[in-house]
Amino acid sequence: MTLMHPEFKRNEAVGLDLGWINQIRVNRAATDRRAASLANRRTVKKEYQAAWLVKAIQMIDLTTLGGDDTPGRVERLCMKAMRPLRADLMAALGLTELSTGAVCVYHEMIAPAVQVIQGRLPIAAVSTGFPAGLTSMETKLREIELSVAAGASEIDIVITRQHVLNGNWQVLYDEMLAYRKACGEAHVKAILATGDLLTMENVAKASWVCMMAGADFIKTSTGKEGVNATIPVALTMVRTIREYHEQTGFQVGFKPAGGVSSAKSALQYLTLMKEELGNEWLQPHLFRIGASSLLTDIERQLEHYVTGSYSANHRHAQP
């Protein structure tokens, strides 16, 4: 299952334009100033904040990617994804239906996720030697095929960072093109691991190459790097998405991941998307937040809105 609008046209490979890639520059000082303006402004309050937080829940890829994952943990994650808020909060907010955007798991955990979700939500699987991406190409492609066959409708791939660091854009393009082909009808999110890419120009160029090769989403991080999602990196990436749409007509999604754990940070990313790309991108088929603990903080904030009091984390079901 994918959360896709019927009229949405999926991104297609458009061919690698090295002339365009080589001329890309990023004004880091201007990027940092714009990012600081987002981080420092006052957030929306009261019922407006509650509405935005409910919107944020719909964008979450609820994630568990631990070496100690078990089928039981994944089953709990899936139940939480399908019922992210307690019944009393749902009633108080006037909500009858609500779910996260998807769940995100390792390949081995697709089967228990399928058993619980039964087609009601998309299942995303991390692939291609996640998180380092340093297995053979044959292994990476086979891993994608196996995950799709097991029931994953979205594949979060990791690019080979050395291609970016060495400026091997044609090799990166060919790699991404092969991943897209292996995914078939499953949508592919290209994880750039931006914390490993050293410069904003590399982030922008890698974003463009992956989109040119047909990526449905570009994603900041695996969550395993030393530095994961940041507002300056997100700003750089969403501006490449805007430019790509202006040039090709294709809409590509964006997914920040790693370290997005507070309701306040989620609101910053929603604001960024609204101001840089518009309301059209504030939909699960074009925006996701990869997170594991974010949902708990959002639920606490919504309980405060309803009751006037903050509750302890342990009062909220953990995925």
Active site residues: 156, 219, 255
Q: For the CA atoms of the chain, what is the radius of gyration?
A: 19
Tell me the β-bridge partners of 62: 103, 291
Give the other-Cβ count within 10 Å of 164's Cβ: 24
Counting beta carbons within 10 angstroms of the beta carbon of residue 277, is it exposed (0 to 12), middle (13 to 18) or buried (19 or more)?
A: buried
Q: Which distant-in-sequence residues (6+ apart) come within 8 Å of 124 by Cβ?
A: 61, 102, 103, 104, 105, 152, 153, 154, 155, 156, 189
* Tokens, residue 237: 């990436």
Q: By the 8 A CB rule, do 178 and 214 touch?
A: no
Q: For 252, how many CA atoms within 13 A lie in the half-sphere containing its CB?
A: 34
The full DSSP string for 179-192 is HHHHHTTSEEEEE-
